[in-house]
Structure 1
Amino acid sequence: MTEKFREYLWGQHCTVWTDNNPLSHLETAKLGATEHRWVAELSAFSYDIRYRPGQANTNADALSRQPPTAMTRMSTGSMLEGVAIPVAIHQDVRQEPQVTQSAVFAFSSYTVNVLKLLQEADPIIGAFLQFWKKQKAPSSSARDKPSGPVRVLLRQWDKITSKDGLIFRKVQRPDGGEEILQLLLPMCLKEEVLQQLHDDHGHQGIERTTELVRQRCHWPGMSDDIKQWCKDCTRCILAKTSQPKLSAPMGHLLASRPNQILAVDFSLLEPDRREHVLIMKDVFSKFTQAVPTRDQKAATVASALVLEWFLHFGVPARLHSDQGRSFENAVGGQLCNLYGVQKSRTTPYHPQGNGQCERFNRKMHDLLRSLPAERKRHWPEYLPQLVFCHNTTIHQSTSESPYYLMFGQEPQLPVDFLLGRIEEPELGQVTDWVRVHQRRLPRERLEAAALKRKDRHDRRTLCDPLAEGQLVYLKNCTMRGRTKIQDAWSPILHKVIQ
């Protein structure tokens, strides 16, 4: 009881009445190890234990007994003479649970006579009864004259039967078991049945709800009505996640020249007084800089952008980031206004919109993981060297190194001095034609690689494009507390403007 009602008993003084007399002497009794452990657990509560004889403890005594059902109740007149039966046995200790009745009987509040009248008054079943009362199957030409739903029932003439004045439909169970008698349901009861077997029955899926209804009743177009009911159910829309997960077609973030778009993001590493790394990546050349920082504050980001990129490689035309507070703030806005930089951002909770930086995060972790164990503790000292290795390696999408596309020439590596590959550039070697094709060829390769990724991604796309004016729900990405049982979608409807 203390575990069940802990929130109510905690900090409150309570009195425990029991018909167990030894329990009332719990504090003075000689106890064993197990009993001492029980007393220790109860010591956190303030309580008094008082004895009450069993005859006077009827409230708790009644709750500990199974109430008699209608099948086991016996009238006093049927008792044998001389047999004394307590009066409490003849009384209902508690009402029968209504949930059990509604789960077993689909029409608990309708009698046979009421259902018969509803069938006769129904426009579809009533029209069918005009043929049924003749007790003769209509001809094929007569079956085609009535409206669509009535025609559907007439074509199933051999499956229709009557019982107790009601019209049923006989079907075989899918597993080959006994036949099922489905009541031909009047249209006025359709919503009530769907309400009980879907909304009040745990919001089961379309197939399970259909099977629940199929075991009890039938009406023309039943499958389509159940499917539409489940699709329009607000609780199902808000509470259930999409299976499989929906995804939109892939978009591209492409640039035509170096320093046109600079993508930025943060990556978290194990703390060595500086656990944050600011990633800055040129979208066209894939040239990257990684700067360890102590925090992700707006001032820190602005300082790193100016000192580590703007002053070294020039001011980019556009800055692209997610919607984190590190980038979407007043300081960042003033920085962009001061240097004339356009600002773009990804959609909320969608890191794929900044895939350039997200992909390098994984690459950077792989590079740091390759360090010997004695160097990993001081990874900030080796990070610039590892980033330089990345920038001087051929990129898969462009087939060129990021360093070459950024500066127009290959870097001189230490191995080049060893191999004697040091060459002085000749005057006039780089012509205008070479400059044009130096930009055009990477652009074509980037577009080809992007189209290849898009084709591979869009094969798994399971989302229809949104249209202007369409009403949509937004995914609930800010859940707190018990996230596994929270609604997956926000209950507020939004309208697509553009």
Structure 2
Amino acid sequence: MKAAIEEWRHWLEGSTHPFQVITDHKNLEYIKSAKRLNPHQAHWSLFFTRFQFTVTYRPGSKNSKADALSRRHDRPLTDHQPESILPPSIIIAPDTLDLMDEIQREQRNEPAPQGCPANKQYVPSRLRLRVMQWVHTSLCSGHPGISHTLHLTQNSFWWPAMVKDVTNYVKSCFVCAQSKTPKELPSGLLQPLPIPQRPWSHLSVDFVTDLPPSDGFTPILVIIDCFSKACRLIPLKGLPTAMDTAQAMFHNVFRIYGIPEDIVSERGTQFTSQVWKAFCKQLDINVSLTSGYHPQSNGQVERLNQEIGRYLRSYCGREQHRWSEFLPWAEYAQKAFIHWSYTVPMRARIPTPHVPVVWRTITSTCCRRLDSP
């Protein structure tokens, strides 16, 4: 409106009769009576005082003359959808189509070649990128590495040169490049910890701190079973005391998996206090503290902390206050991983409870009394 009045200022300024401005923008009716204006609007209001006019609202359906003049007539109207300027390979958006149904429809044009396993779904060439993207970026997988992504893909799908395609896809994943950290080990001779003989008998414990608040939670208590590599991720309202740590361990680990034999932890105040030592002594748990300023002594839980950070950065990088919502998914993804350094049978997930000394003494005493005449 201001541009039009400026264009015909030599006709409108100084007119003895007010002219009428017809617009489909209803808010412009109050432009001359508005009291709270920003600097631009105040400058325009001062300009409008030089003219006598009234603003009349007319819906766009009835304002056909001005609407027709505002359209470009040099471009023909077309019914087809315009083509995207971005190649499909870099477009990441939710797919509303059922992937399996689309694979089966595409197989009519590209049937499975000879040598395709009978228990695998052949993926035509046009849909292979979508399958790899779906497997790699799913919440249940958590942007894993090449080996894990290949294993998850081979569970249900097959196509020639699958290993090469999956390797190239994971190496070119932009989210992985941003969120993952280097895994090179430091030089030097490492002294290994004792090898556990059953699940949940030897635990490694640590805290992940300095996180943004998420539903009132700030740190994470990270617990990993050194035998099966299963983990528990417990969000906490704040950095706990020794008593709070003992209660969290009992309610989230001991109550479910049994009492362990050994717990490896850093030298924080929670694990060096007399409360923690008395708690572990009462349950016949050995307390193992790492070397000072040497986190590699507790390497399993430190490595798990890196994976947790990578997972949370992958899914809530721009919404960091939502990390507590994704924490259960991170725990599920870590438990679903296959650790290639050893074979984990299904029975490794089923714990054999550790019986403290006091209960072993009571049991042996009762057995002797039953055996005595």
Q: TM-score range by the shorter chain?
A: 0.3 to 0.5
TM-score computed with the length of structure 2 as normaliser: 0.41
Larger Rg: 1
TM-score computed with the length of structure 1 as normaliser: 0.31
Q: Which has the higher contact order (CA 8 A, sep 6+)?
A: 2
